[in-house]
């Protein structure tokens, strides 16, 4: 039977349904809490998925990703504080609308727009899968090596800092990936005689530290911050008039979000900003934006949720995370022995389609959850920070220790958290570090396989068309912006003048 239908049939497993529903509820709570986001939630959940089978484990991480991205709109509308960075533009029109006594209407628009954007992006993901499967036949170790190198070149633009700081952060991640024994030569590297470092530094403790513990330290400086809340009587579904006004913005932003999500180094935050700007650009009443325009809410929310499906395309098909949360999901895939890449759609097609259908179910589930329980979930915003973040700290430590019942992993979490805190304080994004740690190990393995395959004649990789294309794209990604800004663009202006 075709994997498309096998994946759908897999949703008949009661255990998987329960996992998805519980994860969706958990994701909504995480997304509704200011300071926590989908990346933090996935990183905290990751160690607890290790005792699960691969399908429910990855499905739960994906459910957190999708539902938390949507739930950020709850706090954005009610307290003018985005629960996730991807909902920052939702504040611009959601909160003014709530101040006019229409919080229920604003949340209704956000829920429906998020669902449509998410569903359309999953449909695009399913349509892209057969094409990606055909690509798998042309990939060998040299192509995978060149592709991974291209993924590392994206680190310059994947974080919030400057390109140079992002590359430094990513290089630190690659360095951490080199710690341990080289499997090809059996040479110990940077172990300093410690048996705990013999197998290297695991993804999971580092993820928990740089995303969870570092955020705890950042939030510790916000203890005295006050939040203004808006009362909401009941959530309301959009009216026919509302749909007539926003349907173009929803479809446009869904396409934008899916495309932006597919691009490595982008994500839901960038998608929401572009979706909002394009909604304003094409609106018949752009002057209403910033004052409670429902098109602004629809454009922002459809785009950021569409980006979740789009981000899974490079994550599953190429092994290159499309966002920070996708990097955590990629770590989960590798921990469970699932190797992402074009071959996934031939060797593990049933698994891939099960994840697709799980994403579809999650997007439909948070439509129900959002419409029926947004008012209840909004109350989690009342949890004081001095209570919330100590709980996050305990979960982080328990999760780290539960991996191998090792205090060494706990120390890795704490050290990673402190490093992540100071990196963020001085303008270094932690996202490139996480991706560098993941791709660094993949890069080394694929280089070793390529050298064995080519009898150590590394230059033969440039004679392979697909590998050569990825090498060329890597050079363009690293030096293209500099050449354009310093040489090509000034030359064009000089010719025109």
Q: How many residues does the chain have?
A: 497
Query: Is the pLDDT assigned to residue 83 strictly greater than 70?
Result: no
Query: Is the pLDDT assigned to residue 84 strictly greater than 70?
Result: no
> Which of the four pLDDT bands, split at 50, 70 and 90, describes residue 93?
confident
* pLDDT, mean over the chain: 79
In percent, how much of the chain has pLDDT > 90?
1
pLDDT at 34: 63
pLDDT, tens digit, for every residue of 287-338?
A: 888 788 888 888 888 888 888 888 887 788 777 776 778 888 888 888 888 8
- What's the token pair of residue 293? 């325009």
pLDDT at 136: 59
pLDDT at 94: 84
- Can you say whether residue 265 is alpha, beta or left, with left for phi > 0 and alpha for psi between -120 and 50 degrees? left
pTM exceeds 0.95:
no
pLDDT at 470: 85
Which carries the bigger pLDDT value, residue 231 or residue 451? Answer: 451
pLDDT, tens digit, for every residue of 344-368?
A: 777 788 888 888 888 888 888 877 7
> Which of the four pLDDT bands, split at 50, 70 and 90, describes residue 1?
low
Burial 110-147 (b: 16+ CB within 10 A, else e): bbbbbbbbbbbbbebbbebbeebbebbeebbbbbbbbb
pLDDT at 378: 60
Query: Is the pLDDT assigned to residue 448 strictly greater than 80?
Result: yes
Contacts 24+ apart (CB under 8 A), 127-135: 128/313, 128/317, 129/317, 129/345, 129/349, 129/352, 129/353, 129/356, 130/345, 132/313, 132/317, 132/342, 132/345, 133/342, 133/345, 133/346, 133/349, 135/317, 135/342
Mean pLDDT within 45-66? 87
Query: Is the pLDDT assigned to residue 229 strictly greater than 60?
Result: no
pLDDT at 14: 87
Query: Is the pLDDT assigned to residue 454 strictly greater than 60?
Result: yes
> Which of the four pLDDT bands, split at 50, 70 and 90, describes residue 137?
low
Query: Is the pLDDT assigned to residue 225 strictly greater than 60?
Result: no
pLDDT at 381: 59
Which carries the bigger pLDDT value, residue 142 or residue 405? Answer: 142
- What's the token pair of residue 326? 């996708």
Query: Is the pLDDT assigned to residue 475 strictly greater than 80?
Result: yes
pLDDT at 244: 85
pLDDT, tens digit, for every residue of 150-168?
A: 877 777 666 566 778 888 8
Mean pLDDT within 187-212? 80
């Amino acid at each position: 039977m075709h994997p498309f239908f096998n994946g759908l049939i897999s949703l008949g497993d009661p255990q998987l349904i329960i996992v998805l529903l519980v994860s969706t509820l958990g994701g909504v709570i995480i997304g509704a809490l200011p300071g926590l986001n989908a990346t933090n939630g996935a990183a905290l959940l990751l160690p607890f998925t290790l005792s699960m089978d691969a399908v429910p484990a990855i499905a739960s991480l994906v459910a957190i990703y999708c539902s938390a991205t949507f739930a950020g709109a709850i706090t954005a509308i009610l307290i003018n504080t985005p629960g996730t960075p991807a909902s920052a533009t939702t504040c611009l029109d959601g909160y003014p609308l709530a101040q006019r006594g229409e919080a229920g209407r604003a949340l209704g628009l956000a829920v429906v727009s998020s669902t449509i954007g998410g569903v359309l992006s999953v449909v695009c993901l399913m349509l892209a899968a057969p094409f990606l499967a055909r690509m798998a036949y042309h990939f060998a170790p040299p192509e995978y090596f060149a592709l991974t190198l291209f993924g590392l070149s994206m680190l310059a633009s994947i974080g919030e800092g400057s390109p140079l700081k992002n590359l430094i952060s990513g290089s630190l991640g690659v360095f951490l990936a080199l710690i341990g024994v080289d499997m090809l030569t059996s040479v110990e590297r940077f172990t300093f005689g410690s048996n705990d470092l013999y197998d290297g530094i695991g993804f999971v403790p580092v993820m928990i530290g740089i995303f969870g513990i570092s955020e705890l330290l950042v939030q510790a400086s916000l203890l005295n911050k006050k939040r203004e809340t808006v009362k909401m009587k009941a959530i309301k579904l959009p009216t026919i008039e509302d749909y007539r006004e926003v349907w173009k913005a929803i479809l446009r932003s869904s396409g934008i979000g899916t495309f932006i999500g597919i691009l490595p180094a982008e994500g839901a935050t960038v998608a929401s900003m572009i979706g909002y700007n394009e909604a304003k650009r094409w609106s018949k009443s752009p002057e209403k934006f910033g004052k409670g325009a429902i098109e602004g809410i629809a454009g922002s929310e459809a785009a950021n949720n569409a980006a979740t499906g789009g981000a899974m395309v490079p994550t599953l098909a190429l092994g290159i995370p499309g966002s920070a949360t996708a990097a955590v999901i990629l770590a989960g895939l590798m921990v469970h022995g699932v190797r992402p890449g074009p071959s996934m759609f031939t060797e593990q097609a049933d698994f891939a389609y099960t994840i697709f259908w799980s994403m579809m179910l999650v997007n439909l589930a948070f439509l129900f959850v959002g419409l029926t329980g947004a008012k209840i979930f909004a109350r989690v915003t009342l949890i004081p920070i001095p209570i919330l973040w100590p709980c996050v700290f305990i979960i982080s430590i328990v999760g780290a220790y539960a991996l191998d019942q090792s205090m060494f992993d706990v120390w890795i979490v704490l050290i990673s958290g402190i490093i992540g805190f100071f990196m963020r304080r001085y303008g270094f994004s932690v996202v490139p570090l996480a991706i560098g740690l993941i791709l660094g190990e993949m890069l080394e393995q694929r280089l070793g396989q390529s050298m064995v395959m080519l009898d150590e004649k590394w230059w033969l990789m440039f004679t392979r068309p697909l590998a050569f294309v990825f090498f060329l794209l890597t050079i363009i990604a690293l030096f293209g912006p500099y050449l354009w800004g310093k040489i090509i663009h000034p030359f064009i202006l000089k010719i025109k003048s």
